[in-house]
Structure 1
């Protein structure tokens, strides 16, 4: 997961970091690593502290495009990245904000593209969300919850009954866990998650 995200940062950093006179060349990689830490740390914080719905909404492309920086999760990631850059590299608020504003939307859009594309095997929902919650794809499957099914269901920007049937099938009959409440194994309120996706904005 980290390698793929760092690759996206490198792809989107040529003008904002590599060619930026405010950043000495020897600091380029450190600035990129600072961004990487802010992105993964921010997503992990939200995923592990009850906002899995928001993380999944972001990674499925909700609020992408020009409005992405207004997403609360993205705003918190941006704030942490700006603060870290100012402290570590002595950048002004304007300079750090300019870097983050130039790089972060492209990185997150690339991440959304990877996890929502069934033909791109470099990074999927199981791998990404398993990493964010401290588990792995095997643990995700063991809990009966197939993040890939949810990711593909959300890829078109809506969740309908056929999508729910696919997700439900992966939970109820797709694994060896026969527990009546498999979502508890993953520390996730699936009812609240699906309710929010169906009824929330």
Structure 2
């Protein structure tokens, strides 16, 4: 996932980084790399701190992907601080780069993950990459249960979304990736 994320950052980085006089040309590639790393590590940190609801909200479209979104805010702050510290950018310049890049990249990431015709990002791959350990799986499952009723994922009509529902979906509709895809609106 990190490689695809870096390609996405490069796609949006031309205006915010390459064509930005505040970012010295010799740092362009490193700033783009730092942006990718900040997004990836930021998402991992949010999950590790129990923010699975925030991540789920990001991917299911219940929250806007702009500066009002707590996920966007946290990653922008992390990137801004990192750009100032590692590359000597002023606070205003590093904040400007972060606020130009992060909402665009996260929005594109979410849209690509939800698009059944775009296989560059799979929601299941993103969740696996950012959850990092099996302990997070239960947190993600809790989130699936919380949102699952809203998305009709109660496959056995027992009034809750649980492992039994996952088993029904995984046997018939593409495994756990199919279940997670259904949760986030993919076909």
TM-score of the two chains, using structure 1 as the length reference: 0.69
Matches within 5 A, 1:144-155: none
How far the C-alpha of 1:170 sits from its partner, in A, is 5.0
Instruction: Note closer, same or farther for the CA distance 1:14–1:165 as it changes in structure 2 (3 Å cut).
Output: same
| Distance in 2 separating the partners of 1:34 and 1:64 | 24
Matching of residue 173 in structure 1 with residue 171 in structure 2: no
How far the C-alpha of 1:175 sits from its partner, in A, is 5.2
Cross-structure match for 2:44: 44
Cross-structure match for 1:199: none
Cross-structure match for 1:31: 31
The 8 Å contact of residues 59 and 111 in structure 1, kept in 2 or not, is answered as: no
CA RMSD, 1 decimal? 2.9
Deviation beyond 6 Å, 4+ runs, structure 1: none
Cross-structure match for 1:64: 64
How far the C-alpha of 1:161 sits from its partner, in A, is 5.6
Cross-structure match for 2:73: 75
How far the C-alpha of 1:162 sits from its partner, in A, is 2.5
What runs of 5+ residues in structure 2 fail to find an aligned partner?
Answer: 172-182
What secondary structure sits across from 1:21 in the alignment?
Answer: coil
Instruction: Note closer, same or farther for the CA distance 1:90–1:53 as it changes in structure 2 (3 Å cut).
Output: same
The 8 Å contact of residues 9 and 105 in structure 2, kept in 1 or not, is answered as: yes
How far the C-alpha of 1:70 sits from its partner, in A, is 1.3
The 8 Å contact of residues 80 and 94 in structure 2, kept in 1 or not, is answered as: yes
Correspondence for 2:99 among 98, 101, 104: 101
| Distance in 1 separating the partners of 2:109 and 2:149 | 20
Cross-structure match for 2:9: 9
How far the C-alpha of 1:128 sits from its partner, in A, is 0.4
How far the C-alpha of 1:173 sits from its partner, in A, is 2.9
How far the C-alpha of 1:63 sits from its partner, in A, is 2.2
How far the C-alpha of 1:27 sits from its partner, in A, is 0.8
Instruction: Note closer, same or farther for the CA distance 1:161–1:107 as it changes in structure 2 (3 Å cut).
Output: closer
How far the C-alpha of 1:24 sits from its partner, in A, is 1.9
Matches within 5 A, 1:87-166: 87-134=85-132, 160=150, 162-165=152-155
